[in-house]
Amino acid sequence: MATEVKIPAMGESISSGILAAWHVKDGDYVEKDQPLYELETDKITSEANAEVAGVISIKIAADEEVDIGQVVALIDESASAPAGGETSAPAADSEKPAESAPAAPVAASTAPAAGKVDPVATLSPAARKAAEETGVNPSAVAGSGKDGRVTKNDILEAAKAPAPAAAATPASAAPKPQATSSTAERETRKKMSPLRRKIAERLVQATQEAAMLTTFNEVDMSAVMKLRKQHQEKFVERHGIKLGFMSFFTKAVTHALQAVPQVNARIEGNEIVTQHFYDIGVAVGTDKGLMVPTLRDCDQKGFAEIENDILAYAKLARDGKIQMSDLEGGVFTISNGGIYGSMLSTPIINYPQPAILGLHNITERAVVVNKEIVIRPMMYLALSYDHRLIDGKEAVTFLVKVKEAIEDPSRLLFGI
């Protein structure tokens, strides 16, 4: 009996995706709940696990576009597990070399020994495409993949390597003109992932549909840094997690939204919808693009709950296991470019949300306090907002409320 492996439903707005990678090979014996493949859509990247145990027959290659509900493999449940109870190991990533020592180069005219895998005949789609683009002969490349397979990385490295030195020419021979580098050596092309395409579409949509404006302020981080240092040890001891800056800003934003409700609204057609809940999106950078998981009911959560939520969502996003429900329903977004060293930026709103707060790097600067020049750890804040909905007065007031809450965190305790 064979069980079909189908692309599962990912949400009403998702109809297709890219089968980014297989974690098993055709003919492997897989166990129930073993990760099979990675699916990349325009919103999330996720893994799918085997529903049954058996021998898998792969029907769709990696890097192919697939539809929701499409059969991508069959699992033969009647097949027995291999002797010794060994099951398949995850397939070697076609994009990265394996850690084992490189195999010897394969000559073009030499057939593989009996029982051995032909490293050229088993080229992955990504490696085959790289060979076509670079003009590298895979038969002359030392394969670093499993069983000596030639990977995409092997092809690209071979393309970068200098050509072997030619035999010395007689002194009387005229020197030949140096060949120019091919286009493939000077640049590479890669198809945009569905997630990157969606990010691009959303950013363009935000700039086209909203009258976006950015206002700035700066905040003295001394009080928050002192408070963290004073209570960090006991906070970790009690909650098992560090107290970070993001929980302070999340609570400060919640406080500011309560004080300036015009910022906690959105435009739908000819109507303004005012929201009376405080679900704050926190931007998380991953190797596949930016994701914005939503922290629910921040007005009802303490610092420890917010820190736990942020860490949990960040791990899910980076592991490709975040769900659509985790990304939906936010009323406002916080983006912290400071962790990458950004000093100042104008963030683009996460449409249809009306505003986004950009945080930046903390640097010690000379500032005037009580008519004296002192050194303080300062951060620039940037609030981008939809000017159709939010006037300058409300935007500046909101930003000042955030600034006041960070510079005097006790305000968060009393709601002032």
> What pLDDT digit, counting tens, does each position of 130-157 carry?
777 778 787 877 777 656 777 777 777 7
Answer yes or no: is 57 within a domain.
yes
The total number of structural domains in the chain stands at 3
Q: Are residues 233 and 305 in the same domain?
A: yes
408 is catalytic: no
Q: Which of 26, 297, 319, 391 is labelled catalytic?
A: 391
360 is a catalytic site residue: no
Q: Provide the pLDDT confidence category of residue 87 given band limits of 50, 70 and 90.
A: low
Prediction pTM value = 0.62
In a domain, residue 400? The reply is yes
Check which CATH number belongs to the domain holding 38 and give it: 2.40.50.100
**What is the reported pLDDT for 109?**
38
How confident is residue 122, by pLDDT bands cut at 50, 70 and 90?
Answer: low
102 band by pLDDT with thresholds 50, 70 and 90: very low
Q: Which residue has the higher pLDDT, 353 or 202?
A: 353
Domain of 151: which CATH number? 4.10.320.10
Is 202 part of a structural domain of the chain? no
Q: Is the pLDDT of residue 287 over 70?
A: yes
Beta strands in 203-339 (DSSP E): 212-220, 265-268, 271-274, 280-282, 284-286, 289-291, 294-295, 332-336
Residue type, 322: I
105 part of a folded domain = no
Q: Which of the two residues, 392 and 178, has the higher pLDDT score?
A: 392
Torsion sign across C-alpha atoms 168, 171, 173, 177: positive
pLDDT of residue 88: 55
Assess whether 126 and 76 both reside in one domain.
Answer: no
- Domain membership of residue 127 as a residue range: 119-158
Q: CA-CA distance, 387 to 202, in Å (whole number)?
A: 18
Q: Final residue of a domain: which of 50, 76, 91?
A: 91
Instruction: Please compute the mean of the pLDDT values over residues 109-117 and round it to a whole number.
Output: 46
User: What is the spatial distance between Cα 294 and Cα 203, in angstroms, rounded to a whole number?
Assistant: 18
Within a domain: 182: no
pLDDT at 100 over 70: no
Q: Are strands 280-282 and 332-336 parallel, antiparallel or unpaired?
A: parallel
The two beta strands, 289-291 and 265-268, are unpaired
Q: What is the pLDDT of residue 95?
A: 41
Which percentage of the chain shows pLDDT scores above 90? 44
3-state helix, strand, coil in the chain (%, to 5): 30, 25, 45
Same domain, 310 and 226: yes
Q: Which two tokens stand for residue 29?
A: 């014996």
